Chains A and B, each alone.
Chain A
Amino acid sequence: MRRWPMWLRWLLLIAAVMLVPNLLNFVTKRWFHRGDPLIDSLPLVFLWAWERPEDLRFLQPSEAGIAVLLAHIYMEGEGAPRMERRKQHLLLTPQTPLMAVVRIETKNASGNQAQAMQTVDQLFKVFDDSRLVAAQIDYDAGTLDRPFYASLLQRLRDRLPQRLPLSVTSLASWCDGDRWMKALPVDEAVPMLFRMGPDRDTIRRKLAAGDEFPEPLCQGSLGISTDELLRPPSKWEGRVYLFHPKPWTKEAYEAALKELQ
């Protein structure tokens, strides 16, 4: 049998070393996260309840869920992350599906390992709550913050119970042509289709034409604001997260639903 040249054997070895982690990551993500039916069992409409007094008792548990902002985590420089819990009340009908949202804000943060571990500890304190059906992180990570964010999500995923799907909000451009989210251990990435940047027109046009976002994580949900309402593509069957710039009212909710239909 003919021996393979030395360069080819070295090349195959390097390729194997590089591919094995990717393959494992792909398999675990497919089998244990993305393919997880838990995320699919969540309601198709979630109302974001931001940091303001919210009375959402008009919402029937069977019609929509609430994604409630429960905390902010602030990080600056090398300093330890500082968490501020929700200060405003949230009134809701018992049994309403509840997703906890934590917003992370960084300013010139180095995003070191210690900060990642401390942030995960704080996130876990919020998400470790039997009332929750899912957890969501809202973090507009800059290019340089991405390794930190990826590492943080991996640590968090490792600690969270499997029963809790993990969702992240995503800038629309992350879902459209940018591939950095590919390996994130999350169940969904919600493209935020409001307050968009220069890609706004392109993304709106694509959606109007019925195109999906290329990033698979972004194909199951959309984030929309009532003051910048954008209809999902026709035949849309995914989840919609609704943001309202003021406290929600029954009228605002019904008007948004009507517009979406």
Chain B
Amino acid sequence: MTLKRVLLCGLACALIVLACGPMFREAVFTYTSYPRYPERNFASGELGIVYPTFWRKFLVVAWRNIEGPPLTAAEQRAFIEGPPRNPWQRTLWKNVRTERELPGGNFQSFVNCGEDAFRRAEEKLAELKRQFGDTHAGVKSWLQAQDTVFSNCEGGEKIPQAIEPGQPTALARERQYQIAAANFYAMKYDIAELQFRGLGDSYLVARCLIRRGTIGPLNRQDLQNAERELRKLGDPPLLGFIASKLRPEEHRIELAKRLNDPKQEAAFAQSLTDYTWLLDRETASFSGDEMTEWIDAVQSGRGEPVERWKRTHKPVWLLAALLHAQPGVQQNAELLEAARSVPASSPAYATARYHRVRLLLASADRVRARKELDEILKQTLPVSAVNAFKAQRMQVAENVAEWVAFAPRQPVAWYYYGEYEAGQEDLPAVLFDSDAALQANRGLPLSLLQRAAAETQLPAALREQLGTVTRTRRILLSGGSYDEIYQVLRTPSMTPYVTAGINRRDAAPTAIDNYRANWWCAWTKDEKTAIPMWLPGAAKAEAAKELAALQAMPSAPTWLARRAVQLANAAPQDPRNAELLHLAVRATRYGCTDDANSAASKAAFQVLHRRYPKSEWARKTPYSF
């Protein structure tokens, strides 16, 4: 029967699939890359706190809302939706690849056939069918020739044959277009240019010149010639493209002007895209227009924002100055005063106040900071800004009740693969952010954490988390009784740490977490304490002493395995000993390990097998780890 069980067990084990995903969504409390309040609120002037790390297109919108005029409704829509996109999809030539590798062996490809080319070809075919009928030989011939044209998209130099004699003039002209287009896609731009000139098509002549001038090293002459051709046609969008290549700085200044002119609202989305693209170039100069200089000042502190503010008294420059103001500088007094006078109705309010409080805190003016923060938090602000102000308010808490009031935060989004996710339905209502977790883990003594856990104003989920943390930390600091160690070993989720954001994802508290969030890691020794300023002297000493004791301890599995051996030795008659030792070995497998893990695992394993060799628990423990 034993053999049967062993074989069945072996087969079952062979079928086990470890379900384990490595990518995690992290809870976000404050938007620092780009705001999603959602965007329409930001576009309409609800800026919240503007960060130097915001993407530039958001800084443009911030500028417009603070400096004025605010975005028109059409501009707001254009900002949110971006440049118009053509939802068209190919029905013919579906499998034609659009990219072609450049000659020269530099592994560089370019989009040779744009989607628009396929759309126009399909429209042309429909037109010809309407004109001549589906079965007309000339239409069929046109289609074959077009296949040849598009065969050059990915590579090759195939040219359609001249049209058969006797076909209608319209089809003959179409064939000339097809021959020129085939040369264009075959990268024979000189020939294509001549052929399009022959057809009198300035736009396509310009396309040949632009392609020849931009594929590979920039050819200014070609682009200038293309510009001349296009000017014959008025002001087509391609002129902007040429300007961005020939005169990038001049064009960027022109775009900045358009972005500040509500009369140009129809071009807002495209102008914004082109403008930020030009600023993304490594050689961009960030000078020549005030908005660009402001963006540079916000991002880097360059351009003497304090002087600009003093000269102009504009709120935009006040913000740029405040963003980079360092504590202890004499001119801060003026900045602080100006920041205080920004009204709550201003789009600049939250940013100005945030930095005013930051400077007050740096100058240890805690009383004023506290008073102002309480006023600010009465305003209606985006949740992201509220979280930032709560973080400041927590710094000037006066007692544990205030700490409990400002430590919990409402997450605003999930962060996943470099982006804030749109779907927020499964966001927890409230969590601890990293500043609160840091203080709880490296600054608050156990006695105060226990008081915090008992505060009824703390949301239930966080009270439960703090309850587990304090229970575990007390066990850790006291050494833990038999019952307590037994309980910790049966509960992989128990931890003495407060977690910033989400800790264990899906596993039940008593289940092993597949992502290894089981039994905690050792306290890092190289990090400083984070003792809150409001702590009384005795509590500070208590916190420092506890932290030193915790930092001297190994990771949980090592500590628990050692304790299990000690307890089993001390109580040899306890009927739970075998299970206790088994659980200790299990913890060394699934928990957070350290250098001493293997030795502790082996010691527990040996005691288990020496003392209780025939027990069920010894059988369940074939290895140490």
A174–B514 CA distance with the chains assembled, in angstroms:
12
Cβ contact within 8 Å between B109 and A180: no
Task: Check if A20 is an interface residue, CB within 8 A of chain B.
Answer: no
Given contacts A90-B106, A202-B593, contact A143 B521 (CB under 8 A): no
Partner of A178, one of B4, B10, B18, B110: B18
Instruction: Assess whether B425 is interfacial by the CB under 8 Å rule.
Output: no
Q: B570 an interface residue at 8 Å Cβ cutoff?
A: no
One digit per residue, 1 when the CB lies within 8 angstroms of any chain A CB and 0 when it does not, for chain B 1-37 equals: 0011001101100100111111110000000000000
Kindly supply a per-residue 1/0 record for chain B positions 151-182, scoring 1 wherever the CB is within 8 Å of any chain A CB and 0 otherwise.
Answer: 00000000000000000000000000000000
Q: How far is the CB of B462 from chain A (nearest CB, A)?
A: 20
Pick the contact of B521 from A83, A177, A180, A201 — CB < 8 Å? A201
Give the nearest-CB partner of B417 in chain A. A140
Chain B: minimal CB distance from A63 (Å): 20
B24's partner among A15, A88, A198 (CB-CB below 8 A) is: A198
Knowing A15-B7, A85-B101, A199-B516 are in contact, say whether A142-B106 is a contact too (CB < 8 A). no
Q: Is A8 an interface residue (CB 8 A)?
A: yes
Q: Which residues of B contact A180 (CB under 8 A)?
A: 17-18, 20
Q: Are A85 and B99 in contact (CB under 8 A)?
A: yes
Give the CA-CA distance A86 to B109 in the complex, in Å: 6
Q: Is B517 an interface residue (CB 8 A)?
A: yes
Q: Does A205 contact B (CB under 8 A)?
A: yes
Chain A residues within an 8 Å CB radius of B97: 83
Residue B595 interfacial (CB < 8 Å): yes
Chain B residues in 8 Å Cβ range of A179: 18
Which of B11, B19, B109, B517 has a CB less than 8 Å from the CB of A198? B517
A14, B106: Cβ atoms closer than 8 Å:
no
Please pick, from A14, A83, A86, A177, the residue contacting B516 in the complex, using a CB distance under 8 A: A177
| Nearest B-chain residue to A92, judged by Cβ | B106
Q: Mark B504-520, 1 if CB is under 8 A from A, else 0.
A: 00000000000111000
Q: How far is the CB of B218 from chain A (nearest CB, A)?
A: 13
Q: Which residues of B contact A86 (CB under 8 A)?
A: 107-109
Which residues in chain A, 155-193, are within 8 Å of chain B measured between CB atoms? 171-174, 177-180
Interface assignment of A31: CB less than 8 Å from any CB of chain B = no
- Chain A residues with Cβ below 8 Å from B23 are 140, 142, 171, 197
Q: Is the CB of A91 within 8 A of B24?
A: no
Q: Is A11 an interface residue (CB 8 A)?
A: yes
In this complex, the interface size class of chain A, counting residues with CB under 8 Å from chain B, is 35 or more
In the bound complex, do residue A68 and residue B107 qualify as a contact, i.e. CB atoms below 8 Å apart?
A: yes
Q: CB-CB contacts of A127-149 with B at 8 A, as 1s and 0s? A: 00001000000001011000000
Per the bound structure, the CA–CA distance linking A205 and B592 in Å amounts to 10
Across the interface, which residues of A come within 8 angstroms of B14, CB to CB?
18
Q: Is the interface of B mostly helix, strand, loop or mixed?
A: loop
Report whether B21 and A205 are in contact in the complex, using a CB–CB cutoff of 8 Å: no
Nearest chain A CB to B597 CB, angstrom units:
10
Task: Judge if B594 is at the interface, Cβ distance under 8 Å.
Answer: yes
Minimum CB distance partner of B97 in chain A: A83
User: Are A209 and B595 closer than 8 Å at their CB atoms?
Assistant: yes
B110 touches A173 (CB 8 A): no
Question: Which among A11, A70, A88, A90 is the interface contact of B8 at CB below 8 angstroms?
Answer: A11
Assess the B4–A70 pair: CB atoms within 8 A.
Answer: no
Contact A91/B106 with A18-B11, A84-B99, A202-B521 known, Cβ cut-off 8 Å: yes
Tier of interface size on chain B? 35 or more
Using CB atoms, name the residue of chain A closest to B17: A180
CB distance from B60 to the nearest CB of A (A): 24
Q: Which of B10, B110, B593, B595 contacts A87 (CB 8 A)?
A: B110
Task: Render A1-23 as a binary contact track against B, CB cut-off 8 A, 1 for contact.
Answer: 00000011001001100100000
B423 to chain A, nearest CB (A): 12
**Closest CB-CB distance, B6 to chain A, in whole Å?**
10
By a CB distance below 8 angstroms, the chain B residues around A140 are 22-23, 417
Are B109 and A85 in contact, with the CB atoms below 8 A?
Answer: yes
Question: A59-83: which have CB < 8 Å to B?
Answer: 68, 70, 83
Nearest-CB distance from B35 to chain A (Å)? 23
Residues from chain A with a CB closer than 8 A to the CB of B594 are 205
- Nearest A residue (CB) for B94: A80
Contact yes or no, B11 A143, CB < 8 A: no
Nearest-Cβ distance from residue B113 to partner chain A, whole angstroms: 13
Bound state CA distance, A129 and B406, in angstroms?
Answer: 60
Known A-B contacts A91-B106, A178-B22; A14 and B11 likewise in contact (beta carbons under 8 Å): yes
B502 to chain A, nearest CB (A): 9
Q: Which one of B8, B21, B592 contacts A202 once the chains associate, using CB atoms below 8 Å?
A: B592
Residues of A within 8 A of B11 (CB): 11, 14-15, 18
Q: Are A7 and B517 in contact (CB under 8 A)?
A: no
Shortest distance between the CB of B17 and any CB in chain A (Å): 8
Name, among B8, B11, B21, B97, the residue most crowded by chain A CB atoms within 10 Å (CB to CB).
B21
Of the residues A11, A15, A131, A143, contact of B19 by C-beta under 8 Å: A143
Task: Report how far A90 CA is from B105 CA in the complex, Å.
Answer: 9
Enumerate chain A residues within 8 angstroms of B516, measured Cβ to Cβ.
177, 199, 202
Could you tell me the distance in whole angstroms from the C-beta of B247 to the nearest C-beta in chain A? 21
Q: Mark B122-155, 1 if CB is under 8 A from A, else 0.
A: 0000000000000000000000000000000000
Complex contacts, B593 vs chain A, CB 8 Å: 202, 206
Q: Which residues of A contact B8 (CB under 8 A)?
A: 11
Does A89 belong to the interface (CB within 8 Å)? yes
What string of 1s and 0s marks CB contacts (under 8 Å) between B196-212 and chain A? 00000000000000000
**Complex Cα gap A37–B521 (Å):** 40
**In the complex, per-residue mask of B578-607: 1 if CB is within 8 Å of any chain A CB, else 0:** 000000000000001111000000000000
Residues of B within 8 Å of A209, CB to CB, are 595
Most-contacted residue by chain A among B108, B417, B515, B521 (CB, 10 A) = B108
Give the most central of A15, A171, A205: most B CB within 10 Å. Answer: A205
Q: Is the CB of B18 within 8 A of A87?
A: no
- Identity of the chain A residue whose Cβ is nearest the Cβ of B8 in the assembled complex: A11
Complex Cα distance, B52 from A86, in Å, reads 31
- Report the bound CA distance from A180 to B99 in whole Å: 35
Chain A residues near B19: list those with CB within 8 A: 143
Q: How far in angstroms is the closest Cβ of chain A from B600? A: 15
B interface, CB within 8 angstroms of A: 3-4, 7-8, 10-11, 14, 17-24, 97, 99, 101-102, 105-110, 417, 515-517, 521, 524, 592-595
What 6 pairs between A and B have smallest CB-CB spacing? A85-B109, A143-B21, A173-B22, A171-B22, A89-B106, A89-B108
A-B contact pairs, 28 of them (CB 8 A): A8-B7, A14-B11, A68-B107, A83-B97, A84-B99, A86-B107, A87-B108, A87-B109, A89-B107, A89-B108, A90-B108, A91-B106, A142-B21, A143-B19, A143-B20, A171-B23, A173-B22, A174-B22, A177-B20, A177-B516, A179-B18, A180-B17, A197-B22, A197-B23, A198-B517, A202-B593, A205-B594, A206-B593
Binding site for B on A (CB under 8 A): 7-8, 11, 14-15, 18, 68, 70, 83-91, 131, 140, 142-143, 171-174, 177-180, 197-199, 201-202, 205-206, 209
Instruction: Beyond A83-B97, A171-B22, A171-B23, list 7 extra A-B contacts (CB 8 Å).
Output: A18-B14, A68-B107, A87-B110, A143-B21, A177-B20, A199-B516, A206-B593
